[in-house]
Each structure stands twice: as C-alpha cells, then as structure tokens.
Amino acid sequence: MQGIRRDQIKDLLNSAGFVNVQELVTRFNVSSETIRRDLEYLERDGVVRRIHGGAVSVLPHVNESSYTARQQYHTTEKCAIARAAASLIQDGDTILIAPGTTTRLVSSFLRKHTGITAVTNSLPVAMELSGCPGVDVHCLGGHLRSDDYSTSGITALENLNIFNISKLIMGVGGITPGGITDYRMDESALLRTFINKADCVIGLADHAKFGIVCVYNICPVDHLDYLITDSGTPEEYLQPYREKGVTVRIADADE
C-alpha cells in the first residue's frame, strides 16, 4: 500500500505540479505524519521539494491542468493575490491583463476604478471587465484556444502594437530564481512581448507555483517589478527574488 500510495502521489505531482498534505490525508485516509514521511521519501528520491503545507515537483512540467480545474485550486489564496494586485492599479492606467484564473479575479476588484483602459487576450477577463463601468475594454484578436478561451498569434501581436501599456498583470506557470516559465510555446512568446511593452510588470504566483519549471522560458525573474504571492509561500523562498530587485508582496487572505 505504501508503494502504491507514493506512486499515486507522484502521479498527482506530474499532473498538478503541487500536492497539499491535508488533501492527501483525506484522499488516502491516512495520518498527516504518514503523508509527511511519504513526501520526505520522495524528496530524498529527488522527485519533490517540500514546502509549507505540501510539496512541489522538481521535474519539468509538460502539461497544465484544465482552466476549469485550475479555477478550483487555492481559491482563497488567489483572491487575496488578486486583491493585492488590483491595489497597484491607479485611475487612468492602461493595463494589460494576461490569461489565467488569478488574473481573471483581478478584474473583479477593479469595479471602483475610473478611467482605466484594459487590454487583454483572455475572454474570461474581458467578460469580467465588461461589468466595470470605469474600465474601457479592448480584446486582442488572434487564434482562439478553446481550453482557456484566450487568443494568440500574429493578430494578437499586431493588435497589441496600438497600445502603450503602463502595467502588465500576468500569472506564471512556474517560477524559480532561475526564471519564469510556462506550458505553451505560443503563449510564452506572447508573454515575452507583453513584458517588453509594459512599463511595470506585476507577476502573480500562489505558493504552488514556486519551484515549478515548465517547458518554455518566459523571462528572468528580474524582469518583474512586483511579485505577489500568498502567505503559504515560505519566506526563505522569497529572499532570492528580493535580492534580484523584485518588490515582493505577501497577500493576506484575512484582509
């Protein structure tokens, strides 16, 4: 049973990139001490790196969970991160919002802003912003991906050239001190252009994204002006980003 359980934990890590101790306790009906011993074993085996409350995979990730599934992960933490990101937006800003479940939540906190011009290649973000009377919404065209309802390609790039962007809000597939990575080639290319267009880059990463290395490189971490995460990210994980000049903010879910 122990070997089977550990193999199943590895399968979960391969699909999601992160496992939570309490979720594993419920799933396998064992004690938290048993799960921690499993994770210690997998860490010694070079499969995972333990973090506060769980563990992350140390292997490159090829696949990403579906958009619908990701909406169910770490919702409290994502809301706190989104609220903190929205607090950096000022009336009159021209903002670019990249696709993602956390970036969509940022849109819901912009309802009290006025004079905002928002550009996005995410249909869920655009729909959320459409309910904000003080936000003028522009959608980038291009090839529509049905898995997360975002656009990409040459049309999106050409549309983007119209705008001067003051602030970019982007989620990440994975982040380490070595850089920011993502799961898709076309989206990674577009994100690199987004970063080059923006005066200020705001990166959003819940605790499960730290230590994850995806297939495609986006940029070094010092391209970020702000990195916003939740209180589940251990402080020792954040110090390398501060040393690279990134302003790190920890979003409090209780605020």
Residue 219 counted as domain residue: yes
The phi, psi pair for 232, rounded to 5°, reads -75, -10
pLDDT digits (tens, 9 = 90+) for 159-184: 999 999 999 999 998 898 889 998 88
CA atoms of 26 and 5, how far apart (whole Å): 13
| pLDDT recorded at residue 66 | 47
Burial of 162 (0-12, 13-18, 19+ CB in 10 A): exposed
| pLDDT recorded at residue 72 | 47
pLDDT digits (tens, 9 = 90+) for 90-99: 999 999 999 9
pLDDT digits (tens, 9 = 90+) for 181-237: 988 888 888 999 999 999 999 999 988 888 788 888 999 999 999 999 998 888 888
For the chain, the domain total comes to 2
Residues 160 and 126 in one domain: yes
Report how far apart, in Å, the C-alpha atoms of 72 and of each of 37, 57, 66, 102 are: 27, 20, 10, 11
Residue 218 counted as domain residue: yes
Residues 87 and 188 in one domain: yes
CATH number, residue 26:
1.10.10.10
pLDDT digits (tens, 9 = 90+) for 9-35: 887 776 666 778 888 888 888 999 999
| pLDDT recorded at residue 67 | 45
Higher pLDDT, 82 or 255: 82
Higher pLDDT, 53 or 61: 53
Residues 89 and 159 in one domain: yes
Residues 42 and 134 in one domain: no
CA atoms of 100 and 170, how far apart (whole Å): 8
Higher pLDDT, 73 or 181: 181
Closest CA to 144 of 172, 185, 186, 181: 186
Question: pTM for the full model?
Answer: 0.77
Residue 62 counted as domain residue: no
| pLDDT recorded at residue 17 | 66
Residues 92 and 47 in one domain: no
**DSSP code per residue over 138-194:** EE--SEEETTTTEEESHHHHHHHTT--EEEEEEE-SEEETTEEEES-HHHHHHHHHH
CB proximity list for 212: less than 8 A, separation 6 or greater: 17, 18, 56, 57, 61, 173, 174, 175, 176, 181
Contact between 171 and 103 (Cβ < 8 Å): yes
User: 3-class SS at 2?
Assistant: helix
Domain range holding 73?
A: 67-251
Residues 106 and 40 in one domain: no
Q: Please state, rounded to an integer, the average pLDDT across all residues of the chain.
A: 87
| pLDDT recorded at residue 254 | 67
Between helices 2-16 and 21-28, what is the axis angle to 10°?
130
Residues 17 and 77 in one domain: no
Contact between 125 and 147 (Cβ < 8 Å): no
Residues 84 and 197 in one domain: yes
